[in-house]
Amino acid sequence: MKTAPPRFKNMKVLLAFDNDGVLRDESGSYQRCVTETVSFFDRGRIATPKELRESMIQSNNDWERTHGILMQRGVRVGFERVKRHFQDLYLGRERDFSGYINDEPWLADNGLLAKLAEMQRLVIVSGAPRKEIEYTLGRNEASDYFCFIWGMRKSKGKGDGLKKAIALFRPELTCFCDDRPSPIKSVLGLDLNNLFAYGILPPHAGRGWRKTLLDAGAREVFSDVNEYCRFLLDSFEAQEQKGLV
């Protein structure tokens, strides 16, 4: 049984969402870019599952992961060339969003986002480039629900992005959600009053990931973003029924 976040009544609440692994499933498209970029620079030898797994531990950045695998194989190629080829596959050679970005499943139920957006402000705080987030929102008809996006270049990490969002909107309560432990630790490290961090299990989450997110400090962990949205809506609606909101 999930518990409602306390003190929702009459409050201006900022709902900050992570993008990758929460709103969109980028894992397949990124993995395909890593695999095929490695193959391109190393005579058709694609990245092995073991290389993919180990590179994931070494870096959260997929350009660095790809470059790292090639370096470990002794292939001498510059980081910028690797990144350029990766982006050719991901966004298309003309950067016209014609690449694998179009294969990413959308994870959110737009009906739930719409209901939340009627009640409170929704923003995205993400490590992905802002243009890619905007494209994904547009492709999935979800642009109207989010009033601001902090992407890769707009902020130095999750904690910084969230601090900027709070400074702009001055909420009384902030609910943040993410699928990885480091952002949860980073926002809790801000030591702000009235900030709740929740965990969302990403698609294909391994066993034990729920505990990983709880250990990072998540108040609760939800199976997906829709379960989290329903939890928030229930919290608001329970207050409404009592005539509190």
- The CA radius of gyration of the chain, in Å to the nearest whole number, is 19
Q: Which of 18, 25, 62, 104 binds Mg ion (CB under 5 A)?
A: 18
| Number of CB atoms found within 10 A of residue 44's CB | 7
Nearer to Mg ion, 24 or 85 (CB): 24
Residue 52 CB burial class (10 angstroms; 0-12, 13-18, ≥19): middle
Q: Which stretch binds Mg ion (CB under 5 A): 13-21, 25-33, 66-74, 221-229?
A: 13-21
The nearest distance, CB 208 to Mg ion, in angstroms, is: 17
Residue 113 and residue 122 in contact, taking contact as beta carbons nearer than 8 Å: yes
Q: Which stretch binds Mg ion (CB under 5 A): 8-16, 21-29, 78-86, 209-217?
A: 21-29
The nearest distance, CB 128 to Mg ion, in angstroms, is: 8
DSSP 127: S
Q: What SS3 state is found at 118? A: helix
Nearer to Mg ion, 65 or 85 (CB): 65
The nearest distance, CB 216 to Mg ion, in angstroms, is: 13
Site for Mg ion contains 21 (CB under 5 A): yes
Nearer to Mg ion, 70 or 200 (CB): 200
DSSP string, 32-48: HHHHHHHHHHTTT-PPP
Q: Which stretch binds Mg ion (CB under 5 A): 112-120, 133-141, 144-152, 171-179?
A: 171-179
Site for Mg ion contains 179 (CB under 5 A): yes
Q: Which residues of 163-174 are buried (b: 16+ CB within 10 A; e: fewer)?
A: bbbbeebebebb
Site for Mg ion contains 199 (CB under 5 A): no
Nearer to Mg ion, 21 or 68 (CB): 21
76-115 footprint of Mg ion as x/- string (CB under 5 A): ----------------------------------------
Q: Which of 13, 20, 177, 228 binds Mg ion (CB under 5 A)?
A: 20
Residue 116 and residue 232 in contact, taking contact as beta carbons nearer than 8 Å: yes
Please list, in sequence order, all residues whose beta carbon lies within 8 angstroms of the beta carbon of residue 219, skipping any fewer than 6 positions away: 5, 196, 197, 198
Interacting residue ranges for Mg ion, rule: CB under 5 A: 18, 20-21, 179
